[in-house]
Amino acid sequence: MVLTIVAAVFVFGLLVLVHELGHFITAKMTGMRVDEFAIGFGPKLLSVRRGETVYSLRAVPLGGFNDIAGMNPSENDAGERGYCEKPVRSRMLVILAGSMMNLVLPIFIFLGIFFFAGVSTPNPEPVFGRVMADKPAALAGLQAGDRVVSLDGESIASWQQFVTATSALQAEQPVNIVVERDGQQLATQVTPSYDAGSKRSVIGVMSDVKTMYPGFFASIGLAVQHTGQIIYMMLDALYRLILELSGTELAGPIGVAQMAGEVAQLGIVPLLNFTAFLSLNLGIINLFPIPALDGGHFAALCVEAVRGKPMGEKAMYYLQVTGITLLVLLMLLATKNDLVRVFTGG
């Protein structure tokens, strides 16, 4: 539980800090007055004033905000330094900066991972990299480093061939396996078990990996490439999700916190990978043209740029209410999914 809380605070805190920094830096760059830069919500735990801005840490570390003067034109007391008085292009920059920072953060995370921890690729040879405790392979005496020679009489020459062969096995039906260990061949029996998650029989082993350590500049290129690949996969998944009109895979703060705790148990590198993945997710979703999200504000600014004047207060009000209602409904659905996963283990 403690690890889950610490991991969740780390993940949420980092993502919110980076996102709000984007808004904050660009607001300052464009001459806007920022009254407060806050991480978290609720009562202040710590606060300090530097110049005209109060920097605060609040009790609930699940969000944050920038109090930029003039966001509401009727309450602007900053004159020309108010948000509402700045050119459309300046306001667009401030609105988009948060999501852009979330899209850029993973590049730096992956750069650090690739440079310091290396790049791991699966070993194409049929060698066990990890044998999971209390799983069929471990119970049969198999160990990490064992090289598969044959499975149920079939010679195995590659890891892919081994995966194909094991996927065809029947649960609870013992099979003969021959492995090579320290130059000697050992024969034993392993009884596959059924894995509900993957919906197939498994024996509880993972492939060996080869790790290479690219240089700094090569790591930058790999980080950019990897980030681009993940963004493409996310957009494709979102497209299919919209087509299927299914929200069963949505996760809210409870689900994300639970996943952060589970990933943290695997080590700092998996947790950083999870943080990068979540940062990209946040950056993409926040750009959706939904009122109350940054993408919705940007869309309104685009309309203003075309019309030459802001949208009417009544129109903005109804758009904001619609956007907030939609977000609340999505949050309720995500929370329902979280609770189902928690209480059913699904």
pLDDT tens across the length of the chain (346 residues): 778 788 888 888 899 899 999 999 999 999 999 999 998 888 999 999 999 999 999 988 777 899 999 998 889 999 999 999 999 999 999 999 999 999 999 999 999 999 999 998 888 999 999 899 889 999 999 999 999 999 988 999 999 999 888 888 888 899 999 999 999 999 999 999 887 766 788 899 999 888 899 999 999 999 999 999 999 998 887 777 666 655 555 665 666 767 787 888 888 999 999 999 999 989 998 998 888 789 988 999 999 999 888 877 777 777 777 777 776 776 666 666 655 655 665 5
**CA-CA distance, 70 to 75, in Å (whole number)?**
6
- Of 204, 193, 89, the C-alpha closest to 137 is 204
Q: What is the crossing angle of helices 268-286 and 253-264, to 10°?
A: 160
- Return all residues near 16 (Cβ < 8 A) that are at least 6 apart: 39, 40, 61, 62, 63, 64
Phi, psi dihedral angles at 189 (to 5 degrees) = -115, 140
The pTM score is 0.78
The single residue listed with the structure tokens 């994300």 is 256
